[in-house]
Amino acid sequence: MKPDLVGAVSGFVVALDYASVLVFALTGALVASRKQLDPVGFIFMAAMTAVGGGTVRDLVLGREVFWVSRPGFVLLAMAAAFLVFWTAHLVESRYRWLLWLDAMALSVAVPAGVGVALVGGYGPLIVVIAGIVTGTFGGLMRDVVGNEVPLVLKQGELYLTAAFGGALAALALTWLDLPRPVALTACGAVTFLLRAGSMRWGWSLPAYKPRPPRS
């Protein structure tokens, strides 16, 4: 890949990271509002949710953690925390907002993780794992710390599958030699479509059901 193209893709990935940090921070702050935390608690929940997935991704890939060299990510999460702290009382159905904002964040974070792995020259399996980790681990931390049922474990809904499908779509389009920004955009669209379809129309995969013991 030519250096100028690498730079363009890297810039696009950084933009995706900023977008996912903002939206995931909003979801973390919404959970803090449901738990009636103080402003510091809001900041903690927002920042942990916002950078959690990307942090795990970077540690696994052996790269510098993305927000260490760009503290603006943390400042953005803090701003989102204060915004929700002063406006959450205006939102009637905070959990519904949480679900849809989380779906938006997932559809941005998955292509961000995929893009990081693609720029790093990793193979298909690592690309998919990087996308899933980036998209899901921040929300998982948020739900566990906030004593909520983790969205990744909710029965009858597509969540991990949505992330997996989006990452596969990016790989397929990259294999077809489409520009990587196009592949990453399609990754986000597929991820959101699967997640939104599951929430709105009940799309799901067959779940495991134990068979009765043989007599």
Per residue in 2-12, pLDDT (tens digit) is: 444 455 568 89
Letter for the amino acid at 191? T
Reply yes or no on whether the pLDDT at 43 is more than 80: yes
Neighbouring CB atoms inside 10 A of 214's CB total 4
pLDDT of residue 94: 86
> What's the mean pLDDT in 47-68?
97
Quote the pLDDT of residue 2: 47
Tell me the pTM.
Answer: 0.92
Mean pLDDT across the stretch 81-105?
Answer: 93
- CA dist., res. 122 & res. 127, Å (int): 6
CA distance 106 to 40: 25
Is the pLDDT higher at 153 or at 37? Answer: 37
- Per the prediction, the chain carries an average pLDDT of 93
**Span 35-50, average pLDDT:** 97
Percent of residues, the chain, with pLDDT higher than 70: 95
Name which of 160, 140, 158 is nearest 150 in CA terms: 140
Domain ranges for the chain:
3-201
Asked if pLDDT for residue 191 goes beyond 90, the answer is yes
In the chain the beta strands, taken as DSSP E runs, fall at: none
Q: Tokens 């929300």, residue?
A: 139
Section 45-58 average pLDDT:
98
